[in-house]
Structure 1
Amino acid sequence: MDSQRNILLIALLFVSFLLYQQWNVETSPQPQGQGVTQQAQTSGDVPVGSDAVQPMADAAVSEDLITIESDVLKLTVDTEGGDVVRAELRQYDDELNSEKKFVLLKSEPGHTFTAQSGLIGASGIDTPQGRAQFNVSAKEFVLDNGQDELRVPMTMVKDGITYTKTYALNRGSYAIDVTYTVDNQSAETASVKMYAQLKQTLMDDGGSLTMPTYRGGVYSADNQKYEKYSFDDMQDKNLNLTISVNPSTKEEGWAAMMQHYFVSAWIPREEGDTNLFTRTENGQGFIGFLMPPVQIAPGTEDTLKTTLWVGPKLQDEMKATATNLELTVDYGWLWFIARPLHSLLTFIQSLVSNWGVAIILMTMVIRGLMYPLTKAQYTSMAKMRMLQPKLQEMRERIGDDRQRMSQEMMELYKKEKVNPLGGCLPLILQMPIFIAFYWSLMESVELRHAPFMLWIQDLSAQDPYYVLPVLMGASMFLIQKMSPSTITDPMQQKIMNFMPIMFTVFFLWFPSGLVLYWLVSNIMTLIQQFLIYRSLEKKGLHSRA
């Protein structure tokens, strides 16, 4: 196998990989219910357990809103229900160089994405007549300089029971603690169940052939560390699982909705069997959980706690917030390679303070580590070329006797100590590393709006002037020209000549960070190819004839 056939193999493998990833985004298995003890039938915005009354109908966002602001988040909370109806990420621009900040949760015409939570049950405050109406001490709450935590209590009193819903935001954190304190000063035992869910307008899963990203539901439950549950899955069948929650042993589980670079997730913090559910209604998709019932005796109080993550996919921070939440940074089936590559890339960036330079250095490291494989590949190809005259003479002598031809070829390879797959196997070993690095770049929120130099001001966006894709195609063309070919079939020659053009067009829509990686990889290949061929020529193993 010569190097031009290798280029064709790379193209086929890479395109096949992209097609597979796009198919994987559009189709996901529907998990079966396991250990279900309680059906999470729902209607409107509130899930209903077997002992709950019929819930209220879906309600619009009220006009009685408050804002809660930390150094990284600005939340808008509806005092009716206490839901987060808007979440602005203060550290992330909406578009490159935009004065507007990125809004993850929102309630706008045509697109609703909110984080809801509440209490149902015999003593619940979410009923068919309406959601809880909380009282607050102010309209705006801001984390002051020098303050590490901001707590915002919202209260209501019903039937001698005081309900306090508290939002707690910490400096630099996208994890929000949401607690319900139930102070029962009535004469009877209060029984409540806390629920939390994410509600979003149904839409396409997202992604494209070159950027096969995912938008939709995802959850973690017991032995299922990370499972996608798309909007199509929700419409086909409601998810209904019972998960065992034990915060002391980090057995938590969570329900989330994610998109490229960002994720919103509810994490239950109360021990016991928790029901995980999805449903759809009126063009909206829901994913969330229903906690086990809690009994509060007269004259006592109890606190129920959950955590809401609303922010970027920052792996270390998410890992510290909930078990397996960092898996929403979806590296695919090569995660065990992509994750350390991302860690190394982050380390290099911390030294050079430029993600583009870090990509270049990282690519050089990868190509350097794979140099022995590359050298073995070209050496094997050179030996195979040296045997071409003998193989041609063998074909003319033997004719159409394929069995005899195969036997004598194997004897020749054995005699000359040549492995016919030597040029192919190193390439196959390299592809998982290339693909894993591709995913580590594509999933890194750190590259969003990250500048490189000159006209490349966003490594997560395509090159606005298509310079990098053109240079990448030119480098691919040079690799072909430097690689002597034994291809004589006119059709194969046309395919090989067309390959750099096809890849150039294909890469026009790739994020510039990925194109930069491929360009530098090609340049490194050219340098290594030159050095290897020069060494082989000295040994008499390489001929440009």
Structure 2
Amino acid sequence: MESQRSILIIGLLLVSFLLWIEYQEAYGPQPIESAEEIQQQNTQNTESSDGFVPQADTSALPQSLNTAETNAQRFVDVTTDTLHLTIDTIGGDVIATDLIKYPVTQGGDDAYQILTSEPATLYIAQSGLIGNQGTDLQSGRAQYSVPQGTYALDNDKEQLIVPLSVVTKDGIQVTKSFTFTRGSHAIDVSYIVNNTTSQVAQVQQYSQLKQTLTERSEGSMFMPTYRGAAYSTLEDKYEKYTFSDIQDERLNIATQGGWVGMLEHYFVSAWVPPQNETNSIYSALSNNAAIIGYKGQTVNIPAGETTTLSSILYIGPKDQGVLANIARGLDLTADYGILWWISQPLFALLKWIYGIVGNWGFAIIFTTIIVKGAMYWLTKKQYESMAKMRALQPKLQQLKDRFGDDKQKMSKGMMELYKKEKVNPMGGCFPMLLQMPIFMALYWVLLESVELRHAEFGLWISDLSVRDPWFVLPILTGASMFLLQRLQPMTIQDPMQQKIFQYMPVAMSIFFFFFPAGLVLYWLMSNIITLVQAKIIYASMEKRGLKTK
């Protein structure tokens, strides 16, 4: 039993350590660099293999869009049923986006803003055409014209198209169109390039996301969240690329398909190029802002002909089903960590149950019942092994009295006793350790899944994604852990270890004060089910003549 207690403690410490590692990776402080170092990196990282990384000149952006200039023709205001955004006619960039269906406060009308042109928190989506006859050159970016300054998706329409047009200095006609679809956060961005000249025109599509390096905290030690860049290639479905990575090393990867994105807790913005073409993924620094983007293949347009280029801009929640249909690996931006292979099936089960019961809290409860039911055989092995170990305690004490401090003889005698009685001393620990990954996997499901954001359970639990405001669930969880402990009579002789084990429910309850209410609800239900299972298992063992106390 002493070895079982020790391994339980080690398991709990391992969980804490893994949480701390994830916290440091996603939320920990980044090294501070001098202005000289940053300037040097800016010089080095803003050059690609062909000597050019497309970047917008954002120095002309207004300090705030709430100015008289907003009403000028330069800025286009677009509203759909899911998005409210602003397009800058210089370059045709998306410089502000509100997610209409995702309020900042639960039940409020304050839409969550993901893109912004505010200099302190700059975060914009840029795109254009480079190349010999491109719209965006080293000398400056295109100034598009637009038929009107305001667009809105009509109630009886499924799509809204916002066309921007320009004629380049070479006389090439370019129409850049944004196509919005009802109920969608994905925007089709296309270029119709009409080569009206007598020469072959060369253009290359590019798209990039640009975000200031200024830290914006979203998480906490017990709810760490990642804010930074990510990308996908044919070889790597999902790779995080932190702001410090962008500062340290320029990214330059050629791949078929792929995508680039910027992530925050529940939301993501991503550029998805044509998946059947070869694209070049790059990163850069510009004026204390991180850039990640892609460049497409160079396209030759014969004289008198027209070519269409396109990409997808997604700005919205990490809806895994939607993202998986847009591009391979884009659903992994709902980052479940190294246990994603457990988390994804758990989330699928959770979502399926929610579709039946219509309440995420009850979905968690029924998921717990199913998971614990599937693991009943492990729980049974655990308690039967623990009961056999308790039955051996008198014989183990006799060995201790016989050999005293001779650890070698004591160890040999214990092994012989275990072999004779057909008892595995680790049998009670292995089932407990198997449950740890499931706990961690569900932790990340409840932390990362946008479906649980502002999800109401009932009574005082109005949001399962944040901690219990009255700490009722953590206290009940601690009490259930205490009752579980009472089912396992204390056999540890060392007074210090006894105290550690006795106060473990109290320590865990304090941890649970900071966990999302949904996770604590899962743990509480798991403990209650374990208590019921333990009673059933003990009753069965007593019928078979096995001592349980």
Matches within 5 A, 1:87-98: 87-98=97-108
Other structure's SS at 2:151 match: strand
Other structure's SS at 2:383 match: helix
Residue in structure 2 matched with residue 247 of structure 1 by the alignment:
none
Report the CA distance between 1:178 and its aligned residue.
0.5
Tell me how far apart the structure 1 counterparts of residues 548 and 369 of structure 2 sit (CA, whole Å): 28
* Preserved CA contact (<8 Å) 1:261 1:443: yes
TM-score, scaled relative to structure 1: 0.91
Does residue 544 of structure 2 align to residue 539 of structure 1?
yes
Out of 313, 325, 330, the position equivalent to 1:325 is 330
Out of 216, 230, 237, the position equivalent to 1:218 is 230
* Preserved CA contact (<8 Å) 1:44 1:58: no
Does residue 392 of structure 2 align to residue 387 of structure 1?
yes
Report the CA distance between 1:188 and its aligned residue.
1.9
Does residue 59 of structure 2 align to residue 59 of structure 1?
yes
Does residue 158 of structure 2 align to residue 148 of structure 1?
yes
Matches within 5 A, 1:21-60: 21-25=22-26, 50=50, 57-60=57-60
Tell me how far apart the structure 1 counterparts of residues 81 and 496 of structure 2 sit (CA, whole Å): 61
Cα deviation 1:269-309 (Å, max 9, x = unaligned): 17543221111222211000111211112111111111111
The unaligned stretches of length 5 or more in structure 2 are 29-40, 63-68
Change (3 A) 1:134 1:71: same
Query: What amino acid is the match of 1:16?
Result: F
* Preserved CA contact (<8 Å) 2:280 2:294: yes
Cα deviation 1:347-382 (Å, max 9, x = unaligned): 100110000010011111111111111111011001
Does residue 352 of structure 2 align to residue 347 of structure 1?
yes
Does residue 259 of structure 2 align to residue 254 of structure 1?
yes
Other structure's SS at 1:107 match: coil
Out of 477, 482, 489, the position equivalent to 2:482 is 477
Deviates more, 1:282-291 or 1:468-477: 468-477
Deviates more, 1:9-18 or 1:339-348: 9-18
Matches within 5 A, 1:78-477: 78-158=88-168, 159-204=170-215, 207-244=219-256, 252-269=257-274, 271-477=276-482
Residue in structure 1 matched with residue 14 of structure 2 by the alignment:
13
Q: What is the RMSD of the two structures over their aligned residues, measured on CA atoms?
A: 2.5
Report the CA distance between 1:155 and its aligned residue.
0.3
Change (3 A) 1:231 1:261: same
Report the CA distance between 1:50 and its aligned residue.
2.3
* Preserved CA contact (<8 Å) 1:277 1:287: yes
Tell me how far apart the structure 2 counterparts of residues 45 and 407 of structure 1 sit (CA, whole Å): 64
Cα deviation 1:372-397 (Å, max 9, x = unaligned): 11111011001001111111111221
Tell me how far apart the structure 1 counterparts of residues 130 and 53 of structure 2 sit (CA, whole Å): 9
Residue in structure 2 matched with residue 38 of structure 1 by the alignment:
none
Tell me how far apart the structure 1 counterparts of residues 53 and 197 of structure 2 sit (CA, whole Å): 21
Matches within 5 A, 1:522-537: 522-537=527-542
Tell me how far apart the structure 1 counterparts of residues 547 and 212 of structure 2 sit (CA, whole Å): 62
Other structure's SS at 1:25 match: helix
TM-score, scaled relative to structure 2: 0.90
Query: What amino acid is the match of 2:239?
Result: E
Tell me how far apart the structure 1 counterparts of residues 85 and 367 of structure 2 sit (CA, whole Å): 38
Cα deviation 1:126-176 (Å, max 9, x = unaligned): 234432111111112122223222111100112321111000111211111
Cα deviation 1:37-89 (Å, max 9, x = unaligned): xxxx9989998662769977443325421122222122211111111111111
Other structure's SS at 1:529 match: helix
Deviates more, 1:204-213 or 1:272-281: 204-213
* Preserved CA contact (<8 Å) 1:469 1:504: yes
Cα deviation 1:2-59 (Å, max 9, x = unaligned): 67556534422321221232244369xxxxxxxxxxxxx9989998662769977443
Tell me how far apart the structure 2 counterparts of residues 471 and 253 of structure 1 sit (CA, whole Å): 47
Cα deviation 1:226-256 (Å, max 9, x = unaligned): 1110001111111111112xxxxxxx10011
Tell me how far apart the structure 2 counterparts of residues 5 and 517 of structure 1 sit (CA, whole Å): 25
Change (3 A) 1:434 1:48: closer
Tell me how far apart the structure 1 counterparts of residues 428 and 216 of structure 2 sit (CA, whole Å): 39
Residue in structure 2 matched with residue 77 of structure 1 by the alignment:
87
Out of 500, 511, 515, the position equivalent to 1:510 is 515
Other structure's SS at 1:8 match: helix
Change (3 A) 1:265 1:342: same
Tell me how far apart the structure 2 counterparts of residues 353 and 398 of structure 1 sit (CA, whole Å): 62
Tell me how far apart the structure 1 counterparts of residues 465 and 110 of structure 2 sit (CA, whole Å): 18
The unaligned stretches of length 5 or more in structure 1 are 28-40, 245-251
Tell me how far apart the structure 1 counterparts of residues 49 and 420 of structure 2 sit (CA, whole Å): 76
* Preserved CA contact (<8 Å) 2:8 2:433: no
Tell me how far apart the structure 2 counterparts of residues 464 and 360 of structure 1 sit (CA, whole Å): 20
Tell me how far apart the structure 1 counterparts of residues 48 and 429 of structure 2 sit (CA, whole Å): 59
* Preserved CA contact (<8 Å) 1:149 1:171: yes
Query: What amino acid is the match of 1:409?
Result: M
Query: What amino acid is the match of 2:186?
Result: A
* Preserved CA contact (<8 Å) 2:334 2:448: yes
Report the CA distance between 1:530 and its aligned residue.
2.4
Change (3 A) 1:53 1:456: closer
Change (3 A) 1:212 1:55: closer
* Preserved CA contact (<8 Å) 1:165 1:178: yes
Percent of residue pairs identical: 48
